[in-house]
């Protein structure tokens, strides 16, 4: 009811001011509006941060006033601002300050990258890195800390191996962690040692925690600067917002402070991590939408059903094809998912549950089904995050229950090399099956799960339409019958995330009255060959009619 009254109040002045001059008119563009009533236009006018008009340049220019800025974009392509429907903002901020060691061809190169980053870092401050892989070096034995310690004597350094299952520490880090020859191997872990029993610097599996627990937690100010860096990085790739797949109340509080202070221009749809105190707090407060001038939404709970496929943690109905005794792991009791879903329905919240395996997905659908029977809510928009492997019988249930599969197309192209080994051919038919889900009449919002994958939203756009990796492998695409069309893939990173976030009235398309969030690209992603999609450059990103990123040089 309150929403209805607000709409009336807003409608009156809009009518009276319909001919007020625009702030910005964009001309000579190929604008894919994602608005079915006018799908492709050449111009648009923007006023007060929202779209005032889309159509021909002649009509748009009728809104020109003395202070209107006119921008001729030389025939470039414009799409609505893209939104990543599943990503981790703080994780990205933290990974940006971590030294990337991926692809280093020698231990010397690893050390050189860390030394380059260490310039200007005060003595005593920890430096972290990730991605080394001694199998890519001439000598494939594990490294020892000595050379690292000589190069970096004054800062504790901790470098995680590419798979996350081993860490390399220098002497300062081991000193800070009180690790010595007397330290014992924890269960499920191993300290690599010299012949005389001294730690070599490499810590395996559970032994990593001996080092990791010595790393001081981020201060509030560090977290703030990590979040700012992650938002700036997102802008560079054409993102105007994202759905953050689970943060603590502490992090959400910091984001609220930042939004209140006007510190960022970005549309953040938060999912609250599964924590009983946080849930009680937010349920009592009630769902929050479009806070601080459309910067923050807090109305979703993130749950976990199972683990991931690569580490055989995804819960499967039948054992793994390559591990006959293993059905994967359940991270939450099914009753817990149903309980939180019931409470969320009563409190007006959405639930988004991570489910990768076919058993994980079925458990979530069953839990949602039971919760909805107890508390019928027509427009709940409950979500399954990843929805990666689905049993044939469960594919129609998403549409029947009104549950949104929130998928990350780029996971398909990252996993396709080994997914068949884990699952066997039969189960592959329901894996990364966005075409089968779309055919049931529902939407499939797209995302990246960054920093698990790279930030660039076009990676998932490309995977969705080609089902090929960046080298165009395999020819024709992997399980090619599951491809999306370009139009669907564009919707999957604009209007479908908006729908999954209850934002479709203000976001997701370039329609009069909606927020003026858009991206200028150097090529037409709707018509270029599949192999040319990933070369696309973002020329500029606009949020609320204002540039938040502009490329300095466009070839
Ligand atoms: Zn995630």
Contact between 56 and 193 under an 8 Å Cβ cutoff? The reply is no
408 Cα to the center of ligand 1, angstroms? 10
Q: What are phi and psi of 157, to 5 degrees?
A: -125, 135
In this predicted structure, the answer to whether residue 14 has a pLDDT above a threshold of 70 is no
32 Cα to the center of ligand 1, angstroms? 29
User: Could you identify the residue written with the tokens 């380059």?
Assistant: 116
355 Cα to the center of ligand 1, angstroms? 10
User: Could you identify the residue written with the tokens 């492709």?
Assistant: 40
Could you give all domains of the chain from N- to C-terminal order, each with its CATH number? 2-75 (2.30.40.10), 127-212 (3.10.310.70), 220-547 (3.20.20.140)
In this predicted structure, the answer to whether residue 242 has a pLDDT above a threshold of 60 is yes
Confidence of residue 17 (pLDDT cuts 50, 70, 90): low
Report in angstroms the alpha-carbon separations of 195 from 199, 200, 207, 306: 10, 10, 19, 41
3 Cα to the center of ligand 1, angstroms? 32
204 CB-near residues (< 8 Å, 6+ apart): 165, 166, 189, 190, 191, 192
DSSP state of 529: -
Q: How far apart are CA 203 and CA 374, in angstroms?
A: 49
Give the rounded distance of the alpha carbon of 12 from its chain centre: 38
Average pLDDT over residues 301-318: 92
Neighbouring C-beta atoms of residue 436, cutoff 10 Å: 17
Largest alpha-carbon pair distance within the chain?
85
Task: For 472-529, write each residue's pLDDT tens digit.
Answer: 999 999 999 999 999 999 999 999 999 999 999 999 999 999 999 999 999 999 999 9
Q: How far apart are CA 78 and CA 65, in angstroms?
A: 23
Contact between 99 and 114 under an 8 Å Cβ cutoff? The reply is yes
pLDDT of residue 16: 43
Contact between 406 and 352 under an 8 Å Cβ cutoff? The reply is yes
pLDDT of residue 18: 60
Question: For the purposes of burial, counting CB atoms within 10 Å of the CB of 491, is it exposed (0-12), middle (13-18) or buried (19 or more)?
Answer: buried
pLDDT of residue 139: 85
Q: How far apart are CA 264 and CA 472, in angstroms?
A: 37
Confidence of residue 311 (pLDDT cuts 50, 70, 90): confident
223 Cα to the center of ligand 1, angstroms? 19
495 upstream amide cis, omega within 30 of 0: no
Lowest mean pLDDT among 406-410, 430-434, 452-456, 461-465: 452-456
Task: For 33-65, write each residue's pLDDT tens digit.
Answer: 999 999 999 999 999 999 999 999 999 999 999
388 Cα to the center of ligand 1, angstroms? 12
Mean pLDDT for the chain overall: 94
Average pLDDT over residues 2-29: 64
Lowest mean pLDDT among 25-34, 254-263, 451-460, 502-511: 451-460
449 Cα to the center of ligand 1, angstroms? 5
88 Cα to the center of ligand 1, angstroms? 6
396 Cα to the center of ligand 1, angstroms? 24
pLDDT of residue 183: 97
Contact between 479 and 428 under an 8 Å Cβ cutoff? The reply is yes
304 Cα to the center of ligand 1, angstroms? 10
Name the token pair of 461: 């756009």
Q: How far apart are CA 368 and CA 378, in angstroms?
A: 13
Question: For the purposes of burial, counting CB atoms within 10 Å of the CB of 150, is it exposed (0-12), middle (13-18) or buried (19 or more)?
Answer: exposed
Task: For 124-180, write each residue's pLDDT tens digit.
Answer: 999 999 989 888 898 889 999 999 999 999 999 999 988 788 899 999 999 999 999
Beta bridge partners of 157: 127
Lowest mean pLDDT among 10-14, 211-215, 261-265: 10-14
Q: What are phi and psi of 344, to 5 degrees?
A: -65, -40
Of the candidates 260, 290, 297, the residue with the CA atom closest to the CA atom of residue 506: 290
452 Cα to the center of ligand 1, angstroms? 8
456 Cα to the center of ligand 1, angstroms? 15
Q: How far apart are CA 259 and CA 277, in angstroms?
A: 23
491 Cα to the center of ligand 1, angstroms? 21
In this predicted structure, the answer to whether residue 436 has a pLDDT above a threshold of 50 is yes
DSSP state of 182: T
pLDDT of residue 8: 42
pLDDT of residue 138: 85
Beta strand 40-41 pairing with 30-32: antiparallel
Task: For 378-416, write each residue's pLDDT tens digit.
Answer: 999 999 999 999 999 999 999 999 999 999 999 999 999
Q: In what order do the strands lie in the sheet with 43-47?
A: 50-55, 43-47, 24-27, 69-72
What is 265-310 written as a DSSP string?
Answer: --EEEEEE-S-HHHHHHHHHH--EEEHHHHTEEEEEEEEE-B--TT
51 Cα to the center of ligand 1, angstroms? 32
Per-residue H/E/C for 438-455: HCCCCCCCECCCCCCCCC
In this predicted structure, the answer to whether residue 12 has a pLDDT above a threshold of 80 is no
Of the candidates 108, 104, 158, 159, the residue with the CA atom closest to the CA atom of residue 130: 159
In this predicted structure, the answer to whether residue 327 has a pLDDT above a threshold of 70 is yes
272 Cα to the center of ligand 1, angstroms? 13
Name the percent of the chain lying above pLDDT 70: 97
209 Cα to the center of ligand 1, angstroms? 22
406 Cα to the center of ligand 1, angstroms? 11
């Amino acid at each position: 009811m309150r929403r209805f009254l607000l709409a009336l109040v807003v409608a009156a002045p809009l009518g009276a001011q319909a001919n007020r001059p625009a702030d910005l008119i964009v001309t000579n563009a190929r604008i894919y509006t994602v608005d079915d009533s006018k799908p492709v236009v050449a111009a648009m006018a923007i006023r007060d941060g929202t779209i005032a008009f889309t159509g021909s340049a002649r009509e748009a220019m009728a809104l020109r006033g003395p202070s209107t800025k006119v921008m001729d974009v030389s025939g470039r392509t414009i799409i609505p601002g893209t939104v990543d429907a599943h990503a981790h903002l703080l994780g990205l901020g933290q990974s940006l300050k971590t030294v990337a060691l991926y692809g280093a061809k020698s231990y010397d190169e690893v050390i050189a990258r860390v030394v380059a980053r260490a310039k200007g870092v005060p003595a005593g401050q920890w430096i972290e890195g990730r991605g080394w892989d001694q199998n890519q070096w001439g000598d494939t034995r594990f490294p020892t800390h000595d050379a690292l310690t000589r190069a970096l004597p004054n800062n504790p350094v901790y470098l995680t191996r590419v798979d996350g299952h081993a860490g390399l520490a220098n002497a300062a880090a081991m000193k800070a962690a009180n690790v010595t020859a007397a330290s014992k191997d924890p269960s499920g872990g191993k300290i690599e040692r010299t012949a005389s029993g001294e730690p070599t610097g490499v810590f395996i599996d559970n032994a990593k925690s001996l080092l990791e627990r010595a790393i001081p937690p981020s201060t509030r100010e560090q977290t703030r600067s990590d979040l700012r860096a992650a938002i700036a990085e997102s802008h560079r790739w054409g993102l105007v917002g994202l759905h953050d797949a689970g943060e603590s109340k502490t992090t959400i509080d910091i984001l609220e402070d930042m939004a209140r202070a006007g510190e960022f221009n970005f549309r953040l749809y938060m999912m609250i991590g599964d924590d009983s105190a946080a849930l009680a707090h937010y349920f009592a407060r009630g769902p929050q939408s479009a806070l601080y001038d459309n910067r923050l939404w807090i109305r979703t709970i993130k749950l976990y059903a199972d683990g991931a496929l690569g580490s055989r943690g995804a819960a499967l109905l039948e054992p793994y094809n390559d591990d006959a005794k293993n059905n994967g792991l359940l991270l939450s009791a099914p009753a817990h998912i149903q309980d939180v879903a019931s409470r969320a329905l009563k409190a007006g919240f959405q639930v988004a549950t991570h489910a990768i395996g076919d058993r994980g997905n079925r458990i979530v659908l069953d839990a949602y089904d039971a919760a909805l029977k107890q508390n019928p809510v027509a427009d709940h928009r409950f979500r399954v995050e990843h929805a990666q492997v689905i049993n044939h019988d469960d594919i129609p249930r998403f549409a029947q229950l009104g549950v949104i599969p929130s998928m990350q197309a780029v996971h398909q192209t990252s996993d396709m090399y080994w997914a068949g080994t884990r699952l066997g051919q039969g189960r592959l038919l329901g894996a990364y099956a966005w075409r089968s889900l779309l055919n049931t009449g529902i939407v499939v919002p797209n995302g990246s799960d960054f920093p698990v994958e790279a930030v660039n939203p076009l990676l998932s756009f490309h995977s969705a339409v080609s089902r090929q990796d960046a080298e165009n492998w395999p020819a024709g695409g992997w399980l090619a019958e599951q491809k999306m069309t370009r139009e669907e893939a564009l919707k999957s990173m604009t209007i479908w995330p908006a729908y999954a976030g209850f934002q479709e009235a203000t976001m997701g398309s370039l329609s009069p009255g909606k927020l003026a969030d858009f991206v200028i690209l150097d090529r037409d992603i709707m018509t270029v060959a599949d192999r040319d999609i990933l070369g696309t450059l973002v020329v500029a990103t606009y949020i609320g009619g204002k540039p938040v990123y502009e490329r300095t040089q466009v070839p």
